[in-house]
Structure 1
Amino acid sequence: MTNVATQYGISGDTAKGIASSVERGVAEGALAPGATLPPVRRLADELGVSPGTVATAYKELRQRGIVVTRGRGGTVVAPAPAVASRRPPKVPQGLRDLAGGHPDPGLLPGLPPVSGQSRAVRSHRSTPRLAALEEAVREWMGAEGVPVEQVTFAHGALDLIGRLLSVELRPGDAVAMEDPGYHHLLDLLTALGLRAVPVAVDDEGMRPDGLDKALRAGVRAVVCSPRAQNPFGGCFSAARRDQLVDLLRASPDVLVVENDHASAVAEAPLRTLAAGGLARWVHVRTVSKFLGADLRWAAAACDATTLARHDGRMLLTSGWVSHLLQETVHQLLTDGGTRALVARAGETYAVRRKALLRELGERGVEAHGASGMNVWVPVRDESAVVNGLRSYGWWVAAGARFRLTSAPGVRITTAGLEPADAARLASDFTAVLGESEATYGG
C-alpha cells in the first residue's frame, strides 16, 4: 500500500486543515483518483494529532465526494467527477447515422406558436404547475396503472433525477444502475460523487439476482427503465415486475426511480413498479422522444415524501418550469392530431426495430431489442465492428460508454431505419463480424 502522506506530505493539525490539505493535493493532481490515503492511526501518528481528528477529516472529505471508503480497501481518492457528460464522436461525413438514439424528425409534431399562448400575470412560485397540465398528466399516467395522487414537473428527466439524488443521497452513496445503461445517467452519478453498482439487464429488464445483490450491498437508490431500456431494449414482463417489487418491498428506505423515457412510443405495455406498494418511489416521463427534444419538460408521479423533497429543492433553485413551456406541452398532449401521430410513430418504430432483429436473426447474429427504438448487438470487439461498418457507410454507437462491467456490444438506433434498408445493414453487419473474427481471432 502506498504511503501517500510521505509522497505528498499531507499536513494539518485540525480536521479542517487535514481535509484542506488532501483537497489541495487532489486539485493539484498530486493525489490521483484511486490513490490510497494512509490509515487513520498511521496519519494521526505522523501528524501528531488524535485518531479522532483524522477520522473527522476523512468524514468531511467523504461527505464532499473527494474520497470514498472501500471497506478493507481503505479510503481512496474518488474518481474524478464528470464536469460534462461524455459526448459521442461526431458522425463522419457521408455516413448513415444510426448512433444517436434520436427519434425520426418526420414523426414529430409541429410546435404551436408562442404568440398564441397566455401571458397572464400569475404567481409562479405559489402555483408552479398549470392545473390543466396536471390533470392531463394524471390521465396519461393513471391510465397505465401509475398512482397519481402526487405529481410534479421538471426540466427533463435528468434534471428531475439529478435533483432527487442530490437531495436524497450523499457523496459516496451507492446506486443500483442498469448495465448496460443510459450513459448520461451513469455520468450524472459520477458528477454527483455517487457510486454506481452495476445490475445486469436482459430482454425483461433489470435482473432480480443482480438487484438482490445490490440491495444486500447497501445501495441507497435504484434507477431502472420499465420499457425501451436504453441501450438493451428490455421491458418488464409481469413476472419480472413482481419479482423486483418483492425485493424492493423488503428495502423500504431505498428510493426507486423508474425512468419511462420513451413511454408513448415504446410500443410495449407498462408494468410499473410504482403500483407495487413501494414506500419510496418516483415514476418519471419525458416527451423528448415523441414531441421533440427541445421540449425540456418531464412529469413525475411519486410518494408524498419524494414530492416534498423534490419540490422543496426546486423552489430554491429554478423555482418552476416555464408556464409557456407547460402550455405548449399541454396543447400537444391533448391535441387529437398529435395523439394520432404519436400512435403512428410508436407503431412505425416497432416495425423498423423488428425488421432489423429479424434480418440479423436470419443471419445468425444475436441481437436484443424487445421495445423502443434501439437494438443492442453483442460483439467481441466494438472498435472493429464500428470501424468495419463505417467502411460500408453505416455509423453505429460503440457500447463502451453504456457499460459498467457488462460484455461488449454496439447500439443501433432503428428509429429512422426503413425496413427496406434493414436487410442491407444486416448483411453488412454479418460481413464485418466475419472480417473482425478473422482479424482478431473468432
Structure 2
Amino acid sequence: MATQYAIEGATAKGIAASVERGIAEGELTPGDALPPVRRLADELGVSPGTVATAYKELRQRGVVVTRGRGGTVVAAAPAVASRRPPRVPEGLRDLAAGHPDPAFLPDLLPPVRLSPGARSHRTMPRLPHLEDTVRGWLAEDGVPAGHITFAHGALDLVARVLTTELRPGDAVAMEDPGYHHLLDLIQALGLRTVPVAVDDEGIRPDALREALRAGARAVVCSPRAQNPCGGHFSRRRRDDLLAVLREAPDVLVVENDNAAEIADAPLHSLTGGDGPPPRWAHVRTVTKYLGTDLRWAAAACDPMTLARHDGLLLLTSGWVSHLLQETVHGLLADPATRERVRQARDAYAERRTALRTELAARGIPSHGRSGMNVWVPVRDESAVVNGLRTRGWWVAAGARFRIASGPGVRITVAGLRPAEASRLAADFAAVLDEAQATYGG
C-alpha cells in the first residue's frame, strides 16, 4: 500500500478529490492500493459509508478498480501517450502513419455558393442537398437512412454517442487489435475496454458473446477495412454477429465504416440482415479518400440515438460548418473525384495484395483482406521495427493497437508501389532471421 500520500477530506467528494489530486501529482501511481474503507474512515474521523461513497464514485469514473480481496487500487493510467506514434526518423520510408497516398486525393477548393453573413445553422444544421446525397450513399449499401446526422469526424461522433448512452466505468467491447485512437478515446471518456478478438472476417462471434457476458454495454466495430488487420464481414459473419447481439438487445452497436469507398470489399452491415439492433449507429467519414483536413462524418442511427446525439451537439459545438458541408458535397457529387477515389481503391488493393504475396512467398503470414493496411504477427515487435529501420523502412509497432492480443506490426501500403513489395518482404524475412539467430526465435 502507498504510504507516502495522506488522503484527506471530510466528505465523499473531498476524499475522492484528494485521491485524484494524489494521482495527478504522481504521489499515487497505477496499482497503488488505497486504505481499506474502515481504516481510512477512522483516520479521517468520518463514517465508513462516506469513504465507501467516495470509492464508489472513483470506481464509476474509472479512477480506481476493486480487486476483491486485493482491495481498491489505482487504475492503470490511460495509455494515450504510449499509443501515440513516435516521430518518423529522418530519411526513412514511412509505412506507419496510416495516411492515404496524396496522389489520389482531390484538390480541396472552397465552395463559392455560400454568401457572407449570418446563417441559421441551429434551425438548419445539415444542408438538405448533402443530407440527400448521404441518404443515397448509405442506401446503396443497404444501410437504413431514415435518420442521419453529421459531426466533426468519426471520433467526434462516436464520442458523443457513447457519452449520451454510457456512464464512466461502463464497459465497451472493442476490437483487439483495434484502431488506437478509438482505444484511447474509450479510456479518455472514463469507460472500460473489453477486448474482442478479430480474424480476417472482423470481430469473432464467440469473443463478442464473452464480452457481452462480461458486461459490455456497447460494441464498437468495423464492418470492413478493419484497422489494423484489414478484416471485413462476410454475410455469414454478419448474421452470426446479429444472432449474438439479439441475446443483448439493450447493447448499443456502433459501426465505424471509416474507409467505405476504398475498402475494396462489399458492406455486410449489422444494420442489414433481418434488421438493425434496437440501438445502433453506422458511422462514415471521408478523410481517407477525400482529404485528411475534412473533419466531417455522417451517421445513420436509430431515432433515440439521433435525438441524444443532436441534443448534445447543439449544446456543445452547435453544428457542423456549412462551408465544410458544401465542400464535402461538392466532392461527393464530382465525377472526377469519384473516379480518383475508384483509382485509389484499386491501387490500394493491388499494393496490399503485392506485399502479402511477397511475404507469403517467404513463409511470412499476414492479414489484410481490405483497406490499406497489412498486419503481420511477429514474436518481437521491437526487433522487427528496429531491424526494418536499419534497412530504411518505418513500420508501426503493434503495441498501440493491442489490448490482450499477440504482438505484430502494421504496415500501411497506401504509398508502397508493387515493385517495392519484394524488397520490403526480403528485408522483413532477413530481420526475422536475425531475430531468431539472436534470441532463439
Q: Distance in 2 between matches of 1:147 and 1:370?
A: 26
- Deviation at residue 121 of structure 1 after TM alignment: 4.0
Aligned partner letter, 1:329: V
Displacement after TM superposition at 1:73 (Å): 4.5
> What CA deviation, in whole Å up to 9, does each residue of 1:178-227 have, x standing for no partner?
11111111111121111111111110000111111110010111111000
Contact kept? 2:83, 2:401, Cα under 8 Å: no
Q: Match of 1:386?
A: 385
1:102 — aligned with what? 99
What secondary structure does 1:267 align onto?
A: coil
**Residue of structure 2 equivalent to 1:420:** 419
User: Structure 1 pair 108/400, CA: closer, same or farther in 2 (3 Å)?
Assistant: same
| Alignment CA distance shift 1:118-1:269 (3 Å) | farther
What does the per-residue CA deviation read over 1:263-293, in whole Å, with 9 as the maximum and x for residues that have no partner? Answer: 0000000010122430111110100011000
> What's the secondary structure of 1:338's corresponding residue?
helix
- Rate the CA distance shift 1:94–1:13 in 2: closer, same or farther, 3 A: closer
* Mapped contact 1:229–1:371 kept (Cα < 8 A): yes
1-side partners of 2:81 and 2:283: how far apart? 22
- 1:57 counterpart SS class: helix
Which residue identity is paired with 1:269? P
CA distance in 1, matches of 2:61, 2:81: 19
Identify the match of residue 24 of structure 1 among 14, 18, 21: 21
In structure 1, what is the equivalent of residue 295 of structure 2? 296
**Aligned twin of 1:350:** 349
TM-score, normalized by length of structure 1? Answer: 0.95
The one-letter amino acid of 1:337's match is A
Question: Structure 1 regions of 5+ residues with no counterpart?
Answer: none
Q: Structure 1 CA distance, aligned partners of 2:137 and 2:90?
A: 41
Write the mapping of 1:74-93 to structure 2, written as runs, cut at 5 A: 74-81=71-78, 86-93=83-90
Opposite residue 164 of structure 2, the aligned amino acid is: V
Quick one: which amino acid aligns to residue 271 of structure 2?
Answer: A
CA shift in 2, pair 1:83/1:408, >3 Å: closer
Taking the aligned partners of 1:69 and 1:17, their CA distance within structure 2 comes to 20
AA aligned to 2:155 is: L
- Bigger mean CA offset, 14-23 vs 256-265: 14-23
Q: Contact 1:366 / 1:377 at 8 angstroms: preserved in 2? A: yes
Aligned to 1:158: 155
Q: Give, in angstroms, the shift of residue 167 of structure 1.
A: 2.0
Between 1:344-353 and 1:321-330, the stretch displaced more is: 344-353
Structure 1 counterpart SS, 2:271:
helix
- Which consecutive unaligned segments of at least 5 residues does structure 2 have? none
Q: Is the 8 A contact 1:86 1:187 kept in 2?
A: yes
**How large is the RMSD of aligned CA atoms in angstroms?**
1.8
Residue in 1 that maps onto 2:233: 236
Task: Give the deviation of 1:81 after TM superposition.
Answer: 4.0
In the alignment, the residues of structure 2 paired with residue 28 and residue 84 of structure 1 have an alpha-carbon distance, to the nearest angstrom, of 17
**Which residue of structure 2 aligns with residue 396 of structure 1?**
395
* AA in 2 matched with 1:374: N
2:133 matches 1:136: yes
Q: In the alignment, which residue of structure 2 is the partner of 1:184?
A: 181
Which residue, 6, 9, 16 being the options, matches 1:9?
6
Aligned equivalents of 1:322 and 1:282: distance in 2? Answer: 22
1:339-368 Cα distance to aligned partner (Å, 9 max, x none): 111112111111110111111111111011
Match of 1:50 in 2: 47
Q: Report the secondary structure of 1:377's partner residue.
A: strand
Q: Partner amino acid for 2:156?
A: D
Change (3 A) 1:69 1:124: farther
TM-score, length-normalised on structure 2? Answer: 0.95
Mapped partners of 1:42, 1:300: distance in 2: 50
Deviates more, 1:199-208 or 1:26-35: 26-35
